[in-house]
Chains A and B, each alone.
Chain A
Amino acid sequence: MRLSKAWLVATRDFKVFRHQKNIWYSIVIFPVIISVLFPVVVEFAGRKSGGIPAASLPTYLNAFSFFFAIGAAFVPLSVASYSIVGEKVEKSLEPLLATPLTDGEILLGKTISALLPTLIALYAGSVVFMTGMDAVTFHKLGYNYFPNETIGVLLLVLVPIAVVLSVLFSIIVSSRVNDVRSANSYGILMFFPFLAIYLASEIGIISLNVNNLLIISGILLAIDVALFFVSTAAFQREEILTKWK
């Protein structure tokens, strides 16, 4: 496996994305919304009654920051779907497969092309989010809540694992569908497990602390490994040319 070749595939995809405004919108919109909207919500929520009590703020802030994990699960879907299904639609995979690139190099390139813009957008959004949240909560907490260990684990461990999960899931879905819209429709399934975790935290079943985030990350990592084998099995030259729809 030559990383330089995988990077070549990824940079080619970046160039393609440059001409696809929809892809950029899908990457940027979610981080922008949560990074701007949530600080505004915290600032204005319950203003008449004195706002959110300081003791409750950490719970809210952890719950809000979990949206970056939710974003990690579905932001890469459109990129990954386009990256593979788009090639299917354009039928540009066959000449690519006829080059000396290995299946693994192409697959890794496709993964990087979905992973990198998503992580950059989410990390940039998280900086805005943390700055905004600190600005609106400092007067109540008396200290900057972010950055902290919890969001560190969330952004540096859970988010990349969730992005990879989403990309691998997209690759598997992409091998079975013929257009980007269908791939995205199936990909939305990725949203629900993360939403379930969020709701569970909201109703007090689990707490989104460092330990639990690491456990969730561990479970997702195991699923990543399983999906990696399934996706590499799906991404074989012969499979792509003869069995992909």
Chain B
Amino acid sequence: MIDTENLTKKFGDLTAVDSLTIHVDDGEVFGFLGPNGAGKTTTVRMLCCLISKTSGDAKIGGYDVGNKEDSLKIRKIIGLVPDNVGLSEHLTAYDNLDFYGKIYDCTEAQRKDSIRRFLEMLDLWDKRDVLAGTFSKGMKQKLAIARALIHDPEILFMDEPTVNLDPESAKTVRNFILELKKQKKTIFLNTHNLDEAQRICDKIAILNTRLRALGTPQDLEQQVKSRKTVITLEKIDDKILGALKDLSLKNLTSEGNSITFDVVDPDSQNSAVVEALVLAGGHVNTVNVVGSTLEDVYLKLVRESA
């Protein structure tokens, strides 16, 4: 559904997105993670044919992003929820949606049906005749999502849909995305909310100008999962610390009676560490491989790329 190959965007000397290659399947919720300024919004804008690419290729639903004629076809099959909502504040909720329905040539019956359906799903039907400018942030966000879906697009791009929302509104929006996921809607979700990405997305990419990681949330966690070991001893003395230093362990930290370090292959390396600790007179109580989270992966990759 979405394919990019070495997609690059430069603004003068600044490279915003560098050689991005991703593939998003039909019906997949694709999480695009990255810190502020990582190039997430630029990528969405390129894929929505709002800004041009500098080099590389991108296809949406088989249409070429760089082709002028195809870009109109792409804009017909996508819906965009931008990071800043962008509602017409002096129009009612109903009129905001009706206008977009007309742009996409939806019939009056289709528009009426879709508007009612989405506003009811998002608990906004009672507010349909209220000016959008009077809405709370959460209500505006929900209305922006309804607007992006009014023409039943094949692909929905969402740029930070829960940012700045209170927990309850964020939950409503997340539940709505999960509902869309059940309906097999292809969703490209820009976020830096790791918990959200982990709960909603089928596949995740971590971007910091360049693509840093790509896979399912489980795959990404696995990348660092077995690399952090925590060993608890009865006590830690200089002899034990000296023995550990000789092993040149990565990111070795000691706190209380515990030591933590990174290892490449814990199955083989942990036994060597335990052996060294015992030889140094240590009494090992527990050896644990700490389950890392997506947050660990994210922070590690982002820090490495900084």
A90 at the binding interface (Cβ < 8 Å):
yes
Residues from 206 to 245 in A contacting B, C-beta threshold 8 Å: 237-238, 241-242
Q: A19 contacts which chain B residues (CB < 8 A)?
A: 90-91, 131
Residue of A5, A19, A100, A238 ringed by the most chain B CB atoms within 10 A = A100
Other-chain residue from A91, A95, A102, A242 in contact with B80 (beta carbon distance below 8 A): A95
In the assembled complex, the Cα of A238 lies from the Cα of B91 at a distance in Å of: 26
A100 with B82: in contact, given A15-B91, A16-B90 (CB under 8 Å)? Answer: no
Query: Closest Cβ of chain B: how far from A107's Cβ, in Å?
Result: 15
Q: A15 contacts which chain B residues (CB < 8 A)?
A: 90-91, 95
Chain A residue with the shortest CB-CB distance to B144: A95
Q: Are B90 and A20 in contact (CB under 8 A)?
A: yes
Q: Are A101 and B103 in contact (CB under 8 A)?
A: yes
A202 at the binding interface (Cβ < 8 Å):
no
In the assembled complex, the Cα of A100 lies from the Cα of B81 at a distance in Å of: 15
Q: Are A97 and B87 in contact (CB under 8 A)?
A: no
A99 with B75: in contact, given A19-B90, A238-B51, A242-B11 (CB under 8 Å)? Answer: yes
Contact with A along B16-50 (1 / 0, CB 8 A): 00000000000000000000000000000100111
Query: Closest Cβ of chain B: how far from A198's Cβ, in Å?
Result: 35
Q: Are A94 and B88 in contact (CB under 8 A)?
A: no
Interface size on B, residues (CB 8 A): 32
In the assembled complex, the Cα of A99 lies from the Cα of B52 at a distance in Å of: 16
Q: Are B95 and A91 in contact (CB under 8 A)?
A: no
A12 at the binding interface (Cβ < 8 Å):
yes
Q: B89 contacts which chain A residues (CB < 8 A)?
A: 90, 92
Residues from 132 to 146 in B contacting A, C-beta threshold 8 Å: 144
Contact with A along B84-100 (1 / 0, CB 8 A): 11111111000100011
A32 at the binding interface (Cβ < 8 Å):
no
A16 with B91: in contact, given A98-B78, A100-B103, A102-B72 (CB under 8 Å)? Answer: yes
Q: A40 contacts which chain B residues (CB < 8 A)?
A: none
A8 at the binding interface (Cβ < 8 Å):
yes
Total CB contacts across the A-B interface at under 8 A: 76
Q: B144 contacts which chain A residues (CB < 8 A)?
A: 95
Q: Are B103 and A92 in contact (CB under 8 A)?
A: no
Q: A5 contacts which chain B residues (CB < 8 A)?
A: 103
A contacts with B: majority SS: helix
Q: Are A91 and B72 in contact (CB under 8 A)?
A: no
Q: Are B88 and A12 in contact (CB under 8 A)?
A: yes
Q: Are B86 and A8 in contact (CB under 8 A)?
A: no
In the assembled complex, the Cα of A99 lies from the Cα of B50 at a distance in Å of: 10
In the assembled complex, the Cα of A12 lies from the Cα of B96 at a distance in Å of: 9
A93 at the binding interface (Cβ < 8 Å):
yes
In the assembled complex, the Cα of A196 lies from the Cα of B48 at a distance in Å of: 47
Q: Are A94 and B50 in contact (CB under 8 A)?
A: yes
In the assembled complex, the Cα of A98 lies from the Cα of B103 at a distance in Å of: 11
Q: Are A98 and B75 in contact (CB under 8 A)?
A: yes
Query: Closest Cβ of chain A: how far from B114's Cβ, in Å?
Result: 15
B76 at the binding interface (Cβ < 8 Å):
yes
Q: Are B51 and A237 in contact (CB under 8 A)?
A: yes
Q: Are B103 and A90 in contact (CB under 8 A)?
A: no
Query: Closest Cβ of chain A: how far from B216's Cβ, in Å?
Result: 29
Extra pairs beyond A91-B84, A100-B76 (18, CB < 8 Å): A8-B102, A12-B95, A16-B91, A20-B90, A90-B87, A90-B89, A91-B82, A91-B85, A92-B89, A94-B50, A94-B86, A95-B86, A95-B147, A98-B75, A98-B82, A100-B104, A237-B49, A241-B50
- B interface residues with partner A (beta carbon < 8 Å): 11, 45, 48-52, 72, 75-76, 78, 80-82, 84-91, 95, 99-100, 102-104, 131, 144, 147-148
- A interface residues with partner B (beta carbon < 8 Å): 5, 8, 12, 15-16, 19-20, 87, 90-102, 237-238, 241-242
